[in-house]
Structure 1
């Protein structure tokens, strides 16, 4: 090969390609061990590492009787990652509680994940005979719950932080029986039944 026919050096500018961001999420009752395991890891990340509410672990006596709900990011219609969670339990016949609502920091800007978790939490309890649904809500989250038709009952301090005891208006939460299918939430859009 002669010097005149030397190979051409190609120079490419690096592409500024944004990382893939899921735009669809399935919110449902946790069915598999991997879903429950990732939900527990997310709770630790939010309540222990990020917020410092608990040291090391946030498990308590409610967990063995609680039902875990998860928000799953979807890739190609298949579950990819647990990006949100909440737990519910029946304290006595007709009285249900929700607690440990957590959304992964990287997915909070999607807007509807927490709201859809709350929707399924109350709607699935409503389908199982709930007459009163309560939650202790961190003060910064009270406006979200008020927009979702919850009433503030009284201020309380839990774990050294201000909370509001709140009650859901069940008339805004039609019963949901198909809890393992749950709801689909799209990024930036409202929730729709699956």
Structure 2
């Protein structure tokens, strides 16, 4: 995979203008999503034992589907700049977790929301009747704007969270999450880690 600094003279911290939000279907996407999760949750937020800890991976990863936001250069995939995972629990209950967006891409807005939308829409297409997530307290307003309801506060990993539920009426089923959605960057605020 070519990196931006190998093909042009843009600075290493250049922020791309186009992205594809999709289910991860390549090994490099999954590997980069795991690195991003570790960077956001362990290094940046100090969760799961911090940078020296074992990482944020858990038993859910074995059965979860990873979703990614991939930056594009000239229409070609460049790197994973956002991720979330989803998994079915039982009887139509689905969960989303480990939402993370690269710090340089957070001011663009929309990446975290697009990952959330694809997570719920693709689970809805696979029989979700209820979609829940443990959302870090600072991200509650973003989820509420996206038609989620806060059910109750709780503490996870020493951090304030909310158990939240998506309103499936606002998330039509997405039957082609491998292709996903194309996005153009627009500067705004929001979308950290959850």
Q: Give the TM-score category using the shorter length.
A: 0.7 to 0.9
| TM-score, normalised by the number of residues in structure 2 | 0.87
**Residues 107-122 of structure 1: pairs in structure 2 closer than 5 A:** 107-122=105-120
Q: Which moved more, 1:178-187 or 1:44-53?
A: 178-187
Larger radius of gyration: 1
Rounded Cα–Cα distance in structure 1 between residues aligned with 2:175 and 2:92: 16
TM-score calculated relative to the size of structure 1: 0.87
> Over aligned residue pairs, what C-alpha RMSD do you find?
1.5
Q: Could you list the runs of 4 or more consecutive aligned residues of structure 1 that deviate by over 6 angstroms after TM superposition?
A: none
Alpha-carbon displacement from aligned partner over 1:80-105 (angstroms, at most 9, x marks no partner): 01000000000102000000000001
Q: Is the CA contact 2:15–2:105 (under 8 Å) kept in the aligned structure 1?
A: no
CA drift of 1:186 comes to 1.2
- Displacement of 1:173: 0.4
Alignment of 1:151 onto 2:149: yes
Asked whether the equivalents of residues 39 and 70 of structure 1 are also in contact (C-alpha less than 8 Å), the reply is yes
Gap regions ≥5 residues in structure 1: 1-16, 190-194
Does residue 25 of the first structure (1) align with residue 23 of the second (2)? no
Equivalent residue number for residue 81 of structure 1 = 79
1:4 corresponds in structure 2 to none
Larger relative contact order (Cα-Cα within 8 Å, sequence gap ≥ 6): 2
Residue 21 of structure 1 deviates from its aligned partner by 2.6
Aligned to 1:53: 47
Q: How far apart are 1:75 and its partner, in Å?
A: 0.3
